[in-house]
Amino acid sequence: MLLKSVNILLECVNRRIPKYERGKLLTRIKQRMQKLMVSEAKLAHHVGFTPNSMSITGILFAAFSSFMYWRWQSIHFSLILGSLFLLASGYCDMMDGIIARTYAQTSSFGGFMDSLLDRYADALIFGSIILGGLCSLFWGLVALIGSLLVSYTRARAEAEGVKMETKGLAERPERILIVAAASFLEVFQSGVLGYAVILLAALTNITVLQRSIYFYRAIHKK
């Protein structure tokens, strides 16, 4: 019954925005962003950054960001600093892959470490938002679990040969942007970040359902 209901919901979305157009639009946006960042990746490589060192820099920014969310009540401008550190972490996450592809430094271990550090970053951010009292424990945990499962469904599906890039509403870049934007707004209106976490709790778990259904359909076409 649940699967049938979700199928109906997705069919309604498909009528509004055709699947082909959504996928192509997201792919074009991502490709354009990557092209714009190639020159910056070359500069980063010139000063000594490697894909792995960029990944480590990203997790450090995530750790600084999480500290700001945790201690937001005792540090001036902590929410703004936390969101800036979070954006910097996301930037590093994009940059490590571009450096790897530009300079033919891709490796299985590098991809594994990048994915692993991203999961730690997600846990740090949501954990600190919960500990800082910026959202409820329940919704924070639901959002965290959903975020982790979004990544898991992609990794598991692609291990079976089903591509999941751009599939779903809330991939990691979208989640980072939502948290960062809500953090800025939280400075002016208390409670915004809490509502953003509720939104992410919904979007991430919807994304898990979308990817599960997409995987189910893909393997039955083979």
Phi-psi region of 135 (alpha: psi -120 to 50; beta: other; left: phi over 0): beta
Alpha helices (H) in the chain, listed in sequence order: 2-16, 19-46, 51-70, 78-102, 108-131, 137-159, 172-186, 192-221
Residues annotated as part of the active site: 118
Alpha helices (H) in 133-188, listed in sequence order: 137-159, 172-186
Q: Which of 213, 211, 183 is nearest to 196 (CA)?
A: 183
User: Who's near 169: CB < 8 A, 6+ residues apart?
Assistant: 203, 206, 207, 210
Tokens of 37: 């960042």
